[in-house]
Amino acid sequence: MSLKFVSRAALVAALTLTPALLPDVADVAFASPAKSTAVDDDTPAASTVAIPTPVILSDDDAQAELKRLQRAQDRIKQQASTATSFKQLSGLDDATKQLADDTDKLIAALLPQRAQL
């Protein structure tokens, strides 16, 4: 087998298995941002990382975003099937990571609606 075929097969497998690897909504917990306090005036406040509150989407917005993500996945799959260089595959890897990030954002935005069900 050629390296080109193996690379394509791995990318297609990764794109196909990505939804199965996403965490279940019940496993995801959102904590409220921690507040930093100083012990006294000479001690600097501890740095904290604020966890953003997910944006609640309407049904129409969620469906539109899902369709956009599906089109992006289809485009990546199509380009992966015709990629002929490492540079093209590397660009597709970046696009796949961005797609995964966007998917995570959509999941986070849909958590409140799913909790109501």
pTM, 2 dp: 0.53
At 66-117, the pLDDT tens digits run 999 999 999 999 999 999 999 999 999 999 999 999 999 999 888 888 888 7
Q: What is the 3-state secondary structure (H, E, C) of 49-97?
A: CCCCCCCCCCHHHHHHHHHHHHHHHHHHHHHHHHCCCHHHHHHHHHHHH
Whether the CB-CB separation of 71 and 79 falls below 8 Å is answered with: no
| Banded model confidence at residue 34, pLDDT cuts 50, 70, 90 | very low
Extract the tokens encoding 81. 């099937």
Extract the tokens encoding 115. 């909790």
